[in-house]
Amino acid sequence: MSTNSFPKLHNATWPGVVGKGPDSEPLIPIDTMLELTAAAEVDGVKFDGVDVGLFDPSIDINDPKEGAKKLADKVAAHGLVIGSLVAPIWGGPVLGSKEDRAVFVDMVRKACQYGQYLKEIGIRTYGVIRIDSASSPETWAKDPAGNTKLIAETFREACDVAAEYGEKLAAEGEICWGGMHSWKTMIDTLAAVDRPNMGFQADMSHTLLYMLGYNSPEDRILPADFDWSDRAALEEGLKKMTAALRPWTIDFHVAQNDGTVHGTGSHDKTGRHCLATDPNGKLDIAKDAGYWLRDENGNLTKAFKHICWDGCMFPNEVMYKQQTWNDILAALIKVRDQHGWSE
């Protein structure tokens, strides 16, 4: 049995909300997500904590002090801690109006305030604030240079706000967000922002889609007729992509993907998150996580203190099964066994 104590193992609460709602399946309350997370156990090992989307119906980001206390009490009651937070910035698309951008920055400020209170309570000692451009690749493509500049300016403003609270912002690369929809455009955006508290949030499912060039065929790494049985070629592709993005990576989502896109409810299509045990999954989860967690020489980067499983847009029937979370926890344990450390 591994004695590694880091990275800490987290589950995400937002899959109970993302892609759910009136135009899809019912929301799964954060209380239920916490119960399922806390009940998971594999050979005596349990989840250490949760990463939280600050948009659950039970979370009021406009009341950060009282809201943080309520959330901390709920999470602590399950023996868990809190890591990274997701800022609810989608009401303020960066490539919208000046007013939209003001909303975006204000949501980042409120998320940072919320995170600050969680730190003061003592339940959050690590983690970042997750953001994206909240704008489509189609909008970005109307003026790539001008829109990348606009995203960078807005992100820099958000970074200045985050710095006031000692927070780092992580942009999650997904094919559905303009200026972040391919590995090359993501690097261009990060380089243009050029702030010490701005980095990349890598998700193993979304970044696999980067390699296939969805929404940016010119940036694909794997050929159009790629044969998934060619594991050596897949590994070479992973090495190329992670070498480019790893230096920026400050937050990490473990996930599985079957090489397809998926969207539910109002959420645009992005990398399909599959069950950890899905036979159609294209990734060797534990091994391929190592491309993100280790440098080109095989040394651990220790760039973040926790890793999180993101199961966005799983059907509710799957999410209510305790075995789902036990299997996910088992996958995370394997990652830590292979690429973890102790302090």
* Tally of domains within the chain: 1
- 152 confidence band (pLDDT: 50, 70, 90): very high
Residue 267 has pLDDT above 50, yes or no: no
Count of C-beta atoms within a 10 Å radius of residue 338 = 15
Residue 263 has pLDDT above 90, yes or no: no
Q: What's the mean pLDDT in 283-302? A: 97
Q: Is residue 198 part of a domain?
A: yes
Residue 100, pLDDT score: 98
Residue 215, pLDDT score: 85
Q: Is residue 254 part of a domain?
A: yes
**Range with the lowest mean pLDDT among 99-103, 176-180, 308-312?**
308-312
Residue 62 has pLDDT above 90, yes or no: yes
Residue 266, pLDDT score: 44
| Tens digit of each residue's pLDDT (9 = 90 or more) over 174-233 | 998 999 999 999 999 999 999 999 999 999 999 999 999 888 999 999 998 899 999 999
Domain range spanning residue 312?
A: 8-339
Q: 182-215 b/e with 16+ CB inside 10 Å = b?
A: bbebbbbbbebbebebbbbbbbbbbbbbbbbbbb
Residue 265 has pLDDT above 90, yes or no: no
Q: Give dist(CA 263, CA 297) in Å, integer.
A: 37
Q: Which residues lie closer than 8 Å to 262 by C-beta, 6 or more apart?
A: 269, 270, 271, 272, 273, 313
Give the global pTM.
0.95
Residue 271 has pLDDT above 60, yes or no: no
Helices 322-339 & 30-39 angle (0-180, nearest 10): 60
Q: Is residue 273 part of a domain?
A: yes
* Encoded amino acid at 3, one letter: T
Q: Give dist(CA 252, CA 202) in Å, integer.
A: 5
**Residue 275 Cα distances to 50, 176, 208, 254, angstroms:** 18, 21, 15, 11
Q: Is residue 3 part of a domain?
A: no
Q: Is residue 239 part of a domain?
A: yes
Q: Give dist(CA 36, CA 340) in Å, integer.
A: 24
Average pLDDT of the chain is: 94
The kind and range of the H/E element at 53 are strand 49-53
- 33 confidence band (pLDDT: 50, 70, 90): very high
**Range with the lowest mean pLDDT among 78-87, 102-111, 246-255, 269-278?**
269-278
CB-CB contact of 307 with 5 (8 Å) = no
Residue 140 has pLDDT above 80, yes or no: yes
- The residues that bridge with 129 in the sheet, in sequence order, are 85, 169
CATH number of the domain residue 132 falls in? 3.20.20.150
Helix, strand, coil % (nearest 5) of the chain? 45, 15, 40
Tell which residue, 204, 221, 231, has the closest CA to residue 293.
204
Residue 260, pLDDT score: 80
- 264 confidence band (pLDDT: 50, 70, 90): very low
Q: Is residue 54 part of a domain?
A: yes
Q: What's the mean pLDDT in 234-258? A: 97
Q: Is residue 1 part of a domain?
A: no
Residue 262 has pLDDT above 50, yes or no: no
- 21 confidence band (pLDDT: 50, 70, 90): confident
Q: Is residue 2 part of a domain?
A: no
Residue 268 has pLDDT above 70, yes or no: no
Residue 182, pLDDT score: 95
Handedness of CA 272, 331, 289, 309 (dihedral sign): positive
CB-CB contact of 241 with 221 (8 Å) = yes
